[in-house]
Chain A
Amino acid sequence: MVKRYLAVLLSGLMIMGSVCLTGCGSTSETATTDTKEETTKEETKEETKEDTKEDAKEDTAAGGDNLSESKDLLAAAEKDLKTTDGHEMMAAGTTAEVPEATASAEDLEKLEDTDKEKWHFYEYLDWDTANDATFPESPADGQKGKKVVLIVHGAHAWTTCYQEAFEAACDAVGMECEVYDPNWDQSTQDGYVDQAINEDPDAIVVIPVSADHAAQQFKKICDAGIAGFCSNTLPEADAMNYIMAYTGPDDWAQMRNLASALGKAMDGKGGVCYITHNVGTSPYYARTYGPMSTLATEYPDIKSLDVQSPGFEAAAVKQVVSDWITKYGDELNAIVLADDSDQAIGAVEACKDAGRSDIKIVAAGNSKQGSELVESGDLFEMSYQSCQADAGLAVRTISEYFCGEDIARVSYIGTDIINKDNVADFTPCQW
Chain B
Amino acid sequence: MNKKKFKINANFINNYRAYFFLIIIMIIGIFTPKFYTAFNINAVTGNGSLVMWLGLGFTVCLIAGHMDLTVMYMSTFGALLCLGLHSINGLPYIVCILIATLVGVIVGLANGILVTKFLIPSFIVTLGMQFVVKGAMYIYTGGAELSIGKDYAFNEFLNEKLIPFLPFSAYFLITTLIIFIIMIVFRYTRFGRNVYMVGGNLETAWLAGIKSDRVTTLVFIISAAACAFGGALNGVYSGSASITMGEKGISPLMIALTATIVGGTAIQGGKGSVVSTWVTLIAIAFLKSIFKKTEMQVLVIAVILIACVCYETITLYRRNKTVGTRPNLHKEYLEETGKAK
A interface residue numbers (CB < 8 A to B): 1-3, 6-7, 10, 14-15, 17-19, 21-22, 24-26, 28-29, 31-32, 154-155, 180-188, 190-191, 194-195, 197-200, 210-213, 215-216, 236, 238, 278-280, 284, 309
Contact = CB atoms under 8 A, between A and B. Distances in A.
B250 A18 contact: no
B309 interface: no
Contact of A182 (B40, B41, B249, B289): B249
Contact of B38 (A29, A182, A190, A279): A29
Interface string B36-73: 11111101100110100000000000000000000000
A134 B141 CA distance: 34
Contacts, number: 158
Given A191-B47, A213-B242, A236-B147, 20 more contacts: A3-B15, A3-B273, A14-B26, A17-B36, A19-B165, A154-B248, A155-B294, A183-B249, A185-B252, A187-B47, A195-B43, A195-B289, A199-B34, A200-B34, A210-B242, A212-B242, A213-B238, A216-B239, A279-B138, A309-B143
Given A10-B23, A213-B238, A198 B40 contact: yes
Nearest to B1: A1
Contacts of A278: 244
Top 6 nearest A-B pairs by Cβ distance? A25-B37, A183-B249, A194-B43, A279-B143, A216-B239, A21-B36
A364 to B, nearest CB: 18
B83 to A, nearest CB: 10
Given A22-B167, A183-B250, A309-B143, A6 B40 contact: no
Contact of A185 (B6, B141, B146, B245): B245
A213 B34 contact: no
Contact of B39 (A2, A29, A216, A280): A29
Given A7-B275, A22-B167, A194 B242 contact: no
Nearest to B6: A2
Contact of A212 (B6, B47, B145, B248): B145
Interface of B: 2, 6, 15-16, 19, 22-23, 26, 34, 36-41, 43-44, 47-48, 50, 138, 141, 143-148, 150, 155, 165-167, 234, 238-240, 242-250, 252, 273, 275, 279, 288-289, 292-294
B143 A190 contact: no
Contacts of B155: 216
B294 A183 contact: yes
A338 to B, nearest CB: 13
Given A187-B47, A211-B145, A280 B19 contact: no
A180 B146 CA distance: 25
A31 B43 CA distance: 14
Contacts of B288: 191
Contacts of B238: 186-187, 190, 213, 216
Contacts of B245: 185-187
Given A6-B19, A7-B275, A25 B38 contact: yes
B145 A280 contact: yes
Contacts of B146: 212
Given A19-B166, A211-B145, A212-B242, A185 B23 contact: no
Nearest to B33: A199
Given A183-B250, A215-B147, A309-B143, A28 B239 contact: no
A280 B37 contact: no
A146 to B, nearest CB: 18
A397 B146 CA distance: 30
A280 B144 contact: yes
Contacts of B294: 155, 181-183, 188
A187 B234 contact: yes
A207 B146 CA distance: 18
A215 B246 CA distance: 20
A279 B34 CA distance: 37
Contacts of A284: 143
A3 B16 contact: yes
A6 B244 CA distance: 38
A210 B240 contact: yes
